[in-house]
Amino acid sequence: MAKALIVIDIQKDFCPGGALAVPEGDRIVPGVNQLMTEFDAVILTQDWHPAGHSSFASAHEGAAPMSMTEMPYGPQVLWPDHCIQGSHGANFHADLTVDRADLIIRKGYNPAIDSYSAFFENDHTTPTGLEGYLRTRGLTQLTLVGLALDFCVNYSAVDAAKLGFDVTVRSDLCRAIDFGGSLAAAQAAMGEAGVTLV
Ligand code: VGL
Ligand code: ZN
């Protein structure tokens, strides 16, 4: 049984000054770097959208950022443009120890579907391939950290638990957007799925 640290979306656009800044998003970087030394494998995820992505408010006429829409796969928050492939804001935070990563998995590249989870797109069926990578390497104990606790960390943790992995979320090494009750809903969803929140 090997242990993997999964570091969710610690990118410039999710840190103060970025396009979709998570309050104090940058504060977790030193602790995450330090935690990397305790794991058999370190995996980074990178939100990676094409320009004009369907999760951007700018792609929907008259829609304001942070409003809701209905997609064929369910309700979707419309975000400000962020993490556009190859852009400055899509880069990892400059102080994150990227060299320690065995795998960098990108998500959100499908123009028609958002992907909060590191395991499945928001249709909850299209896989990213991460499950197969973890299973073939025997990485069954997962610890998740990163941004944002109430969106990508939450969706990733719930999917991992449903897939049968042993999942811990280090909430001290996460920060939340906390929009419209999203943090409380995320905490409840993770608890229900059997995720250990510490
Ligand atoms: C995220 C909103 C949109 C996240 C990504 O990393 O939590 N949130 N895209
Ligand atoms: Zn995104």
43 occurs within a structural domain: yes
Domain extent, residue 20, equals 3-50+82-197
Under-70 pLDDT residues of the chain: none
CATH number at residue 165: 3.40.50.850
140 occurs within a structural domain: yes
116, 122 Cβ separation under 8 angstroms: yes
Strands (E), 72-195: 74-78, 103-107, 139-147, 166-175
For 145-178, give one letter per residue: b (16+ CB within 10 A) or e.
Answer: bbbbbbbbbbbbbbbbbeeebebbbbbebbbbbe
Q: What are the tens digits of pLDDT across the range 118-160?
A: 999 999 999 999 999 999 999 999 999 999 999 999 999 999 9
Give the pLDDT confidence score for residue 184 in this predicted structure. 98
For the annotated catalytic residues, the residue numbers are 9, 107, 152
150 occurs within a structural domain: yes
Give the pLDDT confidence score for residue 1 in this predicted structure. 82
117, 142 Cβ separation under 8 angstroms: no
Question: CA separation (Å) from 111 to 6, 107, 167?
Answer: 24, 11, 29
Amino acid at 73: Y
Collapsing DSSP to helix, strand or coil, 57 comes out as: helix
Give the pLDDT confidence score for residue 10 in this predicted structure. 99
* Ligand located closest to 11 CA: 1
Give the pLDDT confidence score for residue 85 in this predicted structure. 98
61 occurs within a structural domain: no
Q: What is the pTM for the complete model shown?
A: 0.98
64 occurs within a structural domain: no
Q: What is the ipTM of this complex?
A: 0.98
Question: If you take atom 6 of ligand 1, which residue's CA is the nearest one?
Answer: 152
118 occurs within a structural domain: yes
Question: If you take atom 4 of ligand 1, which residue's CA is the nearest one?
Answer: 152
**In the chain, how many domains are there?**
1
> Cα-flanking dihedrals φ and ψ of residue 39, to 5°?
-120, 155
Q: Hey, which of 6, 13, 14 would you mutate to test ligand 1's pocket, going by the most ligand atoms within 8 Å of its Cβ?
A: 14
143, 5 Cβ separation under 8 angstroms: yes
Give the pLDDT confidence score for residue 39 in this predicted structure. 98
56 occurs within a structural domain: no
153 occurs within a structural domain: yes
Give the Cα separation of 190 and 31 in Å (integer): 22
* Ligand located closest to 45 CA: 1
